[in-house]
Amino acid sequence: MIKRTVAIDNPAWLKIKESQLIIEQDGKAVGKIPVEDVGVLIVDHPAVVYTQGCLNALLENNAAVVVCGRNHHPSGILLPLDANSVQTERFKRQVEASTPLKKQLWRQTVRAKIANQARFLKLIGREPGKLLDLARQVKSGDPANLEAQAARHYWRQGFGEAFRRDRFGAPPNNLLNYGYMVLRAAVARALVSSGLLPTIGIHHHNRYNAYCLADDIMEPYRVFVDKAVRRIQEEQRNCNEVDKDIKKILLDVLVCDVRFDKEKSPLMVGLSTTSASLVRCFAGERKSVEYPEL
C-alpha cells in the first residue's frame, strides 16, 4: 500500500476517532484519513493542535511527523522508536560498520546521484557527457569531491547559468527546500522502518545533525524533486511563494514512479527497497545499495 503525505498549513485540530485521523477547522471536520494510510504528516502552521492520542496513533502506524517553524523550514521530525522488531541487532551492525565499507557505500551513493543528474540533463535536452565521465571517476569515499564538481555543472545546465543553489537564495531555492524537506522525512521514515538509526551516517557526520544517514541516502533521490521544480518553472508559475498548488506537485514526488532495473515502483516504496538493501550491506549479505534511476 502506498502511504499518503498529508500537509496541514492552516489552523486545525487533529485527533483520532475510530482509527481515522480527523482534521477539524472551526469546529467542523474538513478531512478524514485512515491513520494507517498516513506515511508523512507535515504541520506547517503555528495554530495546529494535536491530541496525545493522535501522535501516538501516527507513530504506532509508522508515520513520520514533520513540524515546521515560522520560516516554513522543518524544526523537527518525530519518528517511531520501535518500528522494527530486530532494530537492536541492526543498530549494532550499523554502528560497527567498517570505514572501508562506509567509503564504498558513499562511492556508490555519489555515483548514483551524479548518474541521475546526468539523466535529468538528458531529459531536458542538455548534454550529459561531463556528468557521466565524473560518475565513472568517483573513487572510494569520493576523496576528490567529484560530487561538488558535478553539482556546479548540474545546477548551471539544469536551472540556468545565473542560478546558484543556496538554501537561503532566490527562487526556486524555496521550492527545492520544501521538496527536499518532504523527501528527507520520507527517507528517515524508511530507514527507521528498516531498523536503522537515521542519526549515524556513512558520510555525513555533523555532530548537530540528527539525520546524517537520511541525508546520505536521499542524495540519489534529490533529482526527483529537481524534476518537479523544473516542471513548475516550465509551467510559468509564481515561484516566490510555495502555495497550495505548488505544494501538491512537490508532495506528489513521493508517489512518482522510480525504476530499479526493469521494475517500477512508487518512490516511497523505492525508499524501502533502498533502506532494506542497506541493511543487508551492513550485515555483509550484499555489497551494493539499490538506488533508482530517473
pLDDT of residue 190: 87
Nearest to 213 by CA among 281, 165, 119: 281
At residue 50, what are phi and psi to the nearest 5 degrees? Answer: -120, 155
Gap between the Cα atoms of 211 and 273, Å rounded: 19
Which residues lie below 8 Å from residue 244, measured CB to CB, with a gap of 6+? 9
pLDDT of residue 134: 95
DSSP secondary structure letters along 220-261: GGHHHHHHHHHHHHHTT--TTS--HHHHHHHHGGGGSEEEET
3-class SS string, 40-60:
EEEECCCCEEECHHHHHHHHH
Gap between the Cα atoms of 82 and 273, Å rounded: 19
Which residues lie below 8 Å from residue 216, measured CB to CB, with a gap of 6+? 106, 109, 201, 202, 203, 204
Handedness of CA 195, 201, 206, 209 (dihedral sign): negative
Nearest to 205 by CA among 102, 75, 66, 87: 102
Q: Which residue has the cell 526527483?
A: 224
Strand partners, 43: 8, 67
At residue 203, what are phi and psi to the nearest 5 degrees? Answer: -135, -55
pLDDT of residue 274: 95
- For strands 20-25 and 12-17, give the pairing: antiparallel
pLDDT of residue 84: 55
pLDDT of residue 228: 96
Q: List the domains of the chain with CATH numbers.
A: 4-78 (3.100.10.20), 87-282 (1.20.120.920)
Tens digit of each residue's pLDDT, the chain (294 residues):
677 888 888 899 999 989 999 999 988 888 899 999 988 888 888 899 988 889 999 988 888 888 887 766 667 778 777 665 677 888 889 889 999 999 999 999 999 999 999 999 999 999 999 999 999 999 999 999 999 999 999 999 999 999 999 988 999 999 999 999 889 988 988 888 888 888 899 998 877 777 899 999 999 999 999 999 999 999 888 888 888 899 889 989 998 999 998 788 899 889 999 999 999 999 999 999 999 998
Query: Rg (Cα) of the chain, in Å, rounded?
Result: 19
Dihedral of CA atoms 55, 61, 67, 72 in degrees, nearest 10, equals: -140
